[in-house]
Each structure stands twice: as structure tokens, then as C-alpha cells.
Amino acid sequence: MVNQRKKLKVKILLESLQGKTSFVLLKFGQTPHQVLESLRNELRKKSSQLKVVKNTLFEKTVNLLSRTNPVFQKLKREFFPLKEPSALVTFETDWSEEIKTLFEFMKKGKSLNFKFGLLDNQIYSSQQLEMIAQLPGRKDLMVKLIFSLKSPAYRLRHTLGYPLRQLLFVLKEKSQVKS
């Protein structure tokens, strides 16, 4: 007979993954509880959730999702069966800042690692997730783009105004000499 608590946990996992297009599965091994709690609190501030999951229940959830979603079928083929303890991180909105937070915690404690992730319905391996985590965030890239677009106009204005400023400087010096 199937345990009702396990069915309920699979149902909760299913509901939490159904509406999401982005999540990451972590391997946490010998990570101390305090580190996991601080990571959980840090992610909660950014409207993300960290939940420790049993591999078998996560696999059952992905099996249910793979019936209707081809992305989960591919995920099942590439990464199952799961080994080692797992934690699921689900993202509400922009995942770029949360990935950076995860990576910072991974650098501090060597026992945390990526297993795989689904970001905007694209599957990424652990190595790819580490590379993504080291890239500048979406907000940083937008600021750089705006400044790079603004820079030529600013330089043009500065260049066109330079002769006028030099003329004003010369006239000011001349007026001070006569005084």
C-alpha cells in the first residue's frame, strides 16, 4: 500500500513545479544545517524557496510532469536516477540574482553543488549553471547597455562643446589680465 504522506508530498511538489519555468536542484551532501538555513533565509528575501526533497519523490513528480511536458521528458532521460541528497530551489521571478546567491554559498561551503537546472524552460547541467552564475546579472547588463548607448551621445555633446568652453576660458583669462 502506498503511503498517503508520500502521495501528499508528491502532490505538493507537483503543484510547486507545475507553474514554474525555472528551478535548480542542488546536491548538499555534508552541508551543515545552519548553512542551509541561512541560504534558505537569503533566498526567501528574494522570493525564492529552498526545499529539501527525497530523490524518489522528486523522480515521481518529474515522471508525472513528463506526461504532458517534453522538457521534463528530456530532463528525465538526461539526469535520472538521482543520487546523493537533493534540495530544490524554485524561483518566482528573475532567477539571475538567486543563481548568484547560490553560487556565493557554494564558494563558501564546498559541500553545496548544482545537479541540474531548468531556467526559462531550458535544461542546464551543473557546469553550465556555474558558468551562468558567474555572468553579470540581468540588471547589471541593462545598466551597461544603457550607458553604452548613452556614451556616444555624451561624447558627441562634449566634443562639440569643447571649442566653446576653450573660448570661454580664454576670454575669462583675458578679462582677469585686464582687471
pTM above 0.85, yes or no: no
Q: Could you give the dihedral angle defined by the CA atoms of residues 108, 111, 112 and 113, in that order, rounded to the nearest 10 degrees?
A: 120
- The one-letter code for the residue type at 58 is F
**Residue 93 pLDDT more than 80?**
no
Mean pLDDT in residue range 94-109: 79
Domain boundaries, the chain: 4-135, 136-179
- The one-letter code for the residue type at 137 is G
- CA 165 – CA 110 distance, rounded (Å): 57
**Of residues 119 and 111, which shows the higher confidence score?**
119
What's residue 1's pLDDT?
Answer: 44
What's residue 105's pLDDT?
Answer: 78
**Of residues 124 and 33, which shows the higher confidence score?**
124
**Residue 13 pLDDT more than 70?**
yes
Q: Which class would CATH give 4-135?
A: alpha beta
**Of residues 118 and 150, which shows the higher confidence score?**
118
Express each pLDDT in 30-80 by its tens digit: 877 777 787 788 878 877 888 888 888 888 888 888 888 888 778 878 888
If residue 25 lies in a helix (H) or strand (E), which one and from where to where?
A: strand 23-27
DSSP-based three-state secondary structure for 94: coil
**Residue 103 pLDDT more than 60?**
yes
